[in-house]
Structure formats: structure tokens, C-alpha cells
Structure 1
Amino acid sequence: MDGSNSRSNYYVVYDGDWKIQCDGENSDPYRRRQDAFKDAVALAHLDVRNGREAHVIVQCEDDLFRPQWDSRRDTYPPPLVPED
């Protein structure tokens, strides 16, 4: 399996509401980034249990995206992302 098939990337993005994006799909909206992050990590953890590495990448206050959880180094459940 090549690298693109062995890793999932979950993006927590803000577009009027917080959403989780993965593989071109959007989640239902969240009011808080912290809630979207928590659920994104839970989804990523399901991939880990199925043998795929997973990352959660969060849109920050400056609109840049930064990795916030990596299945290779971070624990599950994760620490909470600070609220805005």
C-alpha cells in the first residue's frame, strides 16, 4: 500500500461554522472548534484501529492549518484544543 492509502488526514475548518473534512466530505457543523477537534480525533482513531495512520489538522486563528494530533505520537483521547 502506498503512503496516500495508509494515512488519513482530518481537517477541522471554519467556514461560518466549524466542520470536519476528510476525503472530500464535510461533517455536520459544530459551534465550537474544540468539539469538532474532539470528534475529528475520534474518527481518526477509528482509522488507527483499522491499521491506518491518521492526522488531525486544525485551522487556527490566523487561518493557517497546523497539525494538532498525530496517531504516531499522540495519545487517545487527546488533550483539548484551547478555545478561541
Structure 2
Amino acid sequence: MSLRLFDTHTHFDVPDFDQDREALAYQAKLAGVEHLVLIGFLQSRFQDLIQTQHALNQLKNAPRSHLAPGLHPFYIEQHDLTHLNALEQILQTEQ
């Protein structure tokens, strides 16, 4: 029996993965990962987060990607009310 895994905390959207994002997604699927949760942490990264989620979900034989946008408290000094509005918009429009 093989395990079907759900990776609940990924940052596949960050630039560190630009060169091998697809390959890593395929490797995750081969290892039994069926779903990836993409964690948001800064408003300035929201568009990359969404684009990555859409791109990963277009791949065949890769884990299904899910958004978990947010504003991490570690960066509290960088957040403002407009960022909360952007977060609300994503939560209302993205799946």
C-alpha cells in the first residue's frame, strides 16, 4: 500500500524554485504527494503565489495545488490595511 500525501506547507512560489519548480512538482507526485498547499506570507508575493498555483494545476501528473494566502506576523512592519484588502479579494475570487 502506498501513502497518499498532502503537503500542508509549501513555498513553491518563491524565486528559489524558479529553475526547477515543475521538476520538483513531478518528483513530489512520484513520492506520493497528491496535494500541495501554497502558503502566502507577503502581499507583494500574492501575484506570484496565484500564478504558481495556476501553473502547477495545469501540469499533468503533478500534485493538485491549493492556495492559503496570508500575511505572516513575522513581517508585521511591512503590512498595511491595503494588504488586508488584497487578501480579502483573493479569498473571494480564487479557488
TM-score range, shorter-chain basis?
0.3 to 0.5
Scaled by the length of structure 1, the TM-score of the pair is 0.38
TM-score computed with the length of structure 2 as normaliser: 0.35
Between Structure 1 and Structure 2, the one with more strand by share is 1
Q: Decide which structure has the larger Cα Rg and report it.
A: 2
Structure number with higher helix proportion = 2
